Amino acid sequence: MTRDPKHDILFEPVRIGPRTLRNRFYQVPHCTGFGAEKPGSQARFRGMKAEGGWAAVNTEEALISSDTDYWPVVSTRVWDEDDLRNLSLMCDEAHKHGSLAGIELTHGGVHADGRESRRPSLGPSQLASDYHPFVVPKAMELADIKRIREDWVRAAKLSRDAGFDIVYVYGGHSYLPLQFLSPFYNKRTDAYGGALENRARFWIETLEEVRAAVGDDCAIAVRFCVEALGPAGVELDEGTGFVVLADHLVDLWDVNVGSITDWSKDSGASRFFPEGYQLEWTGRVREVTAKPIVGVGRLTSPDRMAEIVRSGAWDLIGAARPSISDPFLPKKIEEGRYGEIRECIGCNVCIMKAEWGNHIGCTQNATAGEEYRRGWHPEKFEPAANADNDVLVVGAGPAGMECAIVLGKRGFRRVHLVDAAPEIGGVMRWIPRLPGLGEWARFLNWRAVQLEKLKNVEVILGTELTATDVRDYGAEIVVVATGARWSTDGLNAYTHVPIPGADASLAHIFTPEQIMLDGKAVPGKRVVVYDAEGYFTAAGLAEKLAAEGHDVELATCLERIAPVTDETLEGPMLRQHLHDVGVRQRAGFLAAEIGEGFIRGTDEFGEPVELEADAVVLATQRLSNELLYLELVEDVNALHAEGIDALYRIGDCVAPRIVAEASYDGHRLAREIDSDDPATPLPYTRERIVLESAAIGT
Ligand code: ADP
Ligand code: SF4
């Protein structure tokens, strides 16, 4: 395979101040849940991308001192030498692979609510945080301004000494420098408020001091949202106005859109934003600077990347999510292995998993976040010690497909992936057909290509296996990946019993699969979709049925419509969108009974409510399809008699979870199938402080 020459431009080096990027692929700062608290995970996670060809890898936001504290959201802290000692491991990993390491130094200002440090938040003016409305900052005195500049310089020097090549003066997503710049936050009447030049003063002074301190050794980068797409920041004219004012102090402009409250427009889910969507705003920055520019927009198409560079709009292709989904994206383009690229599907599960004290993971890339603690490499697979066996995987959903692929790569003699359905995919056969989720099909497409390539993996479709079939199959190892189904009787988290009258064998009551796979006709005009789960399924079905001409009400017993989508940054836009397409929304409705023509229950205050409904769709909870597994495991002697040495189950068949977890579970079993007890995950390396008694003075 060779690279298309039109992509050669992506592999030109780019100079940024005193440093040189080896190509145009740039991993912009993004959260992981690691910070300086999990230094091994941080180092290996970023190092993997460096190995995969990203010319620079950056930390997440790095808080410069203890008066900017967001705990329990894990940002990198650069409060003292120990934090930097931890982060220096990441620099070593980046350098080992010829990449630059960058650190996104910042101060959260108003939004840093000091939950651990107990220090007040600080702002240009005393205006409550729009992100945490109960947090009211101290209006900064001139002494505070001076101290923070000094903290920034100190953090920059420590960063340089730790090995970082790129130092940011990050304004954000509406963090302190941008809060000074934005009239939404800054109502000062002194030299730091008023005209743009005054509002830019804090940022420019900080840049001057940081540049004087480390500018000979490190590239100085500024990242900020040039267009807030809402009130919490600046509009494009002031964004570019700031670029003009600060250009002489900056080696790299890292530009995006949105704000902390409108982060959903920066890390845009594929449901609402196509690839490259930020270019509309960030592409305008070129008009005011000749310095290198990096932009983002969930770019995975090399043609599009080359086009952008050729157009002159950006010099570097920035990525957070595409680099999580495929750390080897640059290498694969470089080597012309286009079909191997594991394209990000834009589901934002990485954000759900990285924010709020979690540990990053990814729907497409089961190894994301496991590089250090489990030692997994996304492109390397050890031959299995028990590879001279046949493995039967029953069920080709996310868990079964991922498991079969990894088993195939680990060199098993033969892997048989069998599914009752006429196509592979399991739930992914229909999820991408929900409105807005078309890009999720990439999950299936990548796996279809892999399965096709693996000569030792055979896919057998349209074959439903019974326990007897499995025993007779002739494989020594059996993995049951039969997935889950939606409850047909309204069983749900709130009552733990079925809803009286709910029975999806009736003509007017539906499960999601009956609509998406079975083609069961929805009668009448009025449809109520009843959601007790809160993620995308009910909302998607409501939108689909409304588009088909039904009069749809989406009712949920939860406090809000689709609250889980808030964790993927889709929630507010999704609720607005449902409203715009005519879906009525009712939260706090607990269903008590369903009958012909109605669903009745109570509102959040216990008052009775009856909704007219010709049809009711139930998205209440899922249940594992575990009967096959239970029947097999019940009779171990019968298994052994047929030469089956091992039986496992994976994915939703164990417990119904999100696709990322089902896929991870299949991957995990295949990675560990030659361990002493493959059914139980091997312990992973934890990163925490272990104190001796002397350390606490006893
Ligand atoms: P997961 O997310 O755990 O991979 P899914 O529900 O997406 O689970 O996929 C499960 C797959 O298993 C479905 O495609 C289904 O058709 C298949 N399946 C379930 N039971 C059997 C069976 N007895 N024989 C063959 N395939 C089965
Ligand atoms: Fe992309 Fe989803 Fe993976 Fe995030 S979790 S990188 S959005 S595929």
Q: Is the pLDDT of residue 586 over 80?
A: yes
**695 — pLDDT class (breaks 50, 70, 90):** confident
Q: Is the CB of 484 inside a 6 Å radius of any atom of ligand 1?
A: yes
Does residue 398 line the site of ligand 1, with CB under 6 A? yes
- Give whole-number Cα distances, 312 to 274, 277, 284, 295, 317, in Å: 21, 17, 11, 12, 12
Return the closest-CA partner of residue 65 out of 126, 133, 125, 144: 144
Known catalytic residue: 175?
Answer: yes
Alpha helices per DSSP H over 550-658: 564-567, 571-580, 627-634, 636-641
The Cα 461–Cα 423 span in angstroms is 6
Report the pLDDT averaged over residues 686-698: 83
Minimal-distance CA residue to ligand 2 atom 6: 321
CA atoms within 13 A on the CB side of 586: 20
Ligand 2 center to 367 CA (angstroms): 12
Please state, in angstroms and rounded to a whole number, the distance separating the CA atoms of residues 280 and 80.
40
DSSP string, 615-631: EEEEES-EEE--HHHHH
Give the single-character DSSP code of 672: T
CA of 351, closest atom in ligand 2: 4
Which of 271, 299, 321, 343 has the most ligand 2 atoms within 8 A of CB, as the residue to mutate?
321
Return left, alpha or beta for 330; rule: phi > 0 is left, psi -120 to 50 is alpha, else beta.
alpha
Kindly give the distance from the C-alpha atom of residue 298 to the centroid of ligand 2, in angstroms, as a whole number.
10
Q: What size, in residues, is the chain? A: 698
C-beta neighbour count of 635 within 10 angstroms: 12
> How confident is the model over 478-534, as pLDDT tens digits?
999 999 999 999 999 999 999 999 999 999 999 999 999 999 999 999 999 999 999
The average pLDDT across 463-487 equals: 98
pLDDT at 286 > cutoff 80: yes
Task: Examine the pLDDT at 682 and tell me if it is beyond 90.
Answer: yes
The CA–CA distances, whole Å, from 471 to 387, 394, 467, 474, 674 equal 20, 12, 6, 7, 21
Eight-state DSSP code of residue 605: T
Question: Quick check: CB of 360 below 6 Å from ligand 2?
Answer: no
pLDDT, residue 210, reads: 98
Ligand 1 close to Cβ of residue 653 (< 6 A) = yes
Q: Model confidence at 71, in pLDDT bands (50, 70, 90)?
A: confident
pLDDT at 355: 81
Determine the pLDDT at residue 609: 98
Residue 489: CB atoms within 10 A of its CB come to: 19
DSSP tag of 520: P
**Ligand found nearest the CA of 429:** 1
Ligand in closest contact with the CA of 485: 1
The confidence band for 74, taking pLDDT boundaries of 50, 70 and 90, is confident
Average pLDDT of span 392-408: 98
* Torsion sign (Cα): 224, 228, 232, 235: positive
Ligand 1 close to Cβ of residue 78 (< 6 A): no
Ligand nearest to the CA of 343: 2
State residue 698's pLDDT score. Answer: 65
Q: Tell me if 318 sits within 8 A of 104, measured CB to CB.
A: no
Could you tell me if 140 and 119 are in contact, meaning their C-beta atoms sit under 8 angstroms apart? no
For ligand 2, the distance from its centroid to the CA atom of residue 163, given in whole angstroms, is 29
Residue 317: strand pairing partners: 25, 295
- Alpha carbon of 631 to ligand 1 centroid (Å): 16
Torsion of the alpha carbons at 437, 440, 444 and 445, rounded to the nearest 10: 100
Instruction: Please identify, by atom number, the ligand 2 atom nearest to the C-alpha of residue 322.
Output: 6
What residue owns the CA closest to ligand 1's atom 23?
Answer: 465
pLDDT above 90 (res 266)? no
Q: Which residue in 168, 175, 530, 648 is the catalytic one?
A: 175
Nearest ligand to the CA atom of 467: 1
Q: Are 537 and 564 in contact (CB under 8 A)?
A: no
H-only helix segments in 321-466: 321-325, 329-334, 349-354, 398-409, 441-453
Residue with tokens 């599914």: 419
Residue 47 pLDDT more than 80? yes
Predicted local distance difference test score (pLDDT) of residue 556: 98
Give me the helices (H) in 493-535, please. 512-516
Distance from Cα 344 to the centre of ligand 2, integer Å:
5
Give me the pLDDT at residue 260, please.
Answer: 81
Contact 563, 572 (CB under 8 A): no
Query: Among the listed ranges 258-267, 423-432, 487-496, 661-670, which one has the minimum average pLDDT value?
Result: 258-267
Is residue 84 a contact partner of residue 159, using CB atoms and an 8 Å limit? yes
Mean pLDDT of 292-315: 97
Within 10 Å of residue 693's Cβ, how many Cβ atoms? 7
pLDDT band at 584 (very low <50, low <70, confident <90, very high): very high
Tokens linked to 570: 């889709």
For residue 617, give the amino acid letter: V
What is the amino acid identity at position 447? R
Separation CA 172–CA 256 (nearest Å): 9
Write out pLDDT tens, residues 76-93: 999 999 999 999 999 999
| Eight-class DSSP state of 19 | E
| Chain segment 143-196, per-residue pLDDT in tens | 999 999 999 999 999 999 999 999 999 998 889 999 999 999 999 999 999 999
DSSP 546-577: HHTT-EEEEEESSSSSSTHHHHTT-HHHHHHH
261 alpha carbon to ligand 2 midpoint, in Å? 21
CA of 354 relative to ligand 2 center, distance in Å: 11
Each residue of 324-382: pLDDT tens digit? 999 999 999 999 999 999 999 999 999 999 887 789 999 999 999 999 999 999 999 99
Q: What is the 3-state secondary structure (H, E, C) of 381-415?
A: CCCCCCCCCEEEEECCCHHHHHHHHHHHHCCCCEE
Q: Is the CB of 327 under 6 A from ligand 2?
A: no
Q: Which residue has the higher pLDDT, 5 or 696?
A: 5
Contact 223, 237 (CB under 8 A): no
298 CA closest ligand 2 atom index: 1
Residue 697 pLDDT > 90 = no
For residue 569, the ligand closest to its alpha carbon is: 2
- Residues near 573 by beta carbon (within 8 Å), at least 6 away in sequence: 264, 271, 272
Spatial distance between the Cα atoms of 672 and 659, rounded to a whole number of angstroms: 20
Ligand 1: distance of its center to the CA of 424 in Å? 9
pLDDT in tens, 105-135: 999 999 999 989 999 999 999 999 999 899 9
Other Cβ atoms closer than 10 A to 149: 18
Say which residues have a Cβ less than 8 Å from residue 59's Cβ, sequence separation at least 6. 29, 42, 46, 76, 87, 90, 102, 103, 104
Å from CA of 74 to ligand 2 middle = 19
Cβ-based burial of 486 (10 A; exposed 0-12, middle 13-18, buried ≥19): buried
Mean pLDDT of the chain: 96
How far apart (Å, rounded) are the C-alpha atoms in residues 235 and 242? 11
Instruction: Give the mean model confidence (pLDDT) for residues 215-243.
Output: 95
Joined tokens for residue 384: 């299995």
Residue 552 structure tokens: 């749809």
Q: Is the CB of 330 under 6 A from ligand 1?
A: no
| Ligand 2 in reach of 62 Cβ (< 6 A) | no
Is any atom of ligand 1 closer than 6 Å to the C-beta of 420?
Answer: yes
Pairing of strands 76-77, 56-63: parallel
Residue nearest to atom 19 of ligand 1 (CA): 482
* Atom 1 (ligand 2) nearest CA: 344
Q: Decide whether any atom of ligand 1 lies within 6 Å of the 656 Cβ.
A: no
Helix (H, G, I), strand (E, B) or coil at 27: strand
Q: What HEC string does 211-257 produce? A: HHHHCCCCEEEEEEEEECCCCCCCCHHHHHHHHHHHHHHCCEEEEEE
- d(C-alpha 308, C-alpha 255), whole Å: 14
| Strands 138-139, 14-16: pairing kind | unpaired
347 lines ligand 2 (CB under 6 A): yes
Tell me, yes or no, if the pTM score tops 0.85: yes
Cα–Cα distance, 656 to 678 (Å, whole number): 20
Ligand 2 in reach of 345 Cβ (< 6 A): yes
Which ligand 1 atom sits closest to the C-alpha of 401?
4
pLDDT > 70: what percent of the chain? Answer: 100
Token pair for 315 = 């010099």
464 lines ligand 1 (CB under 6 A): yes
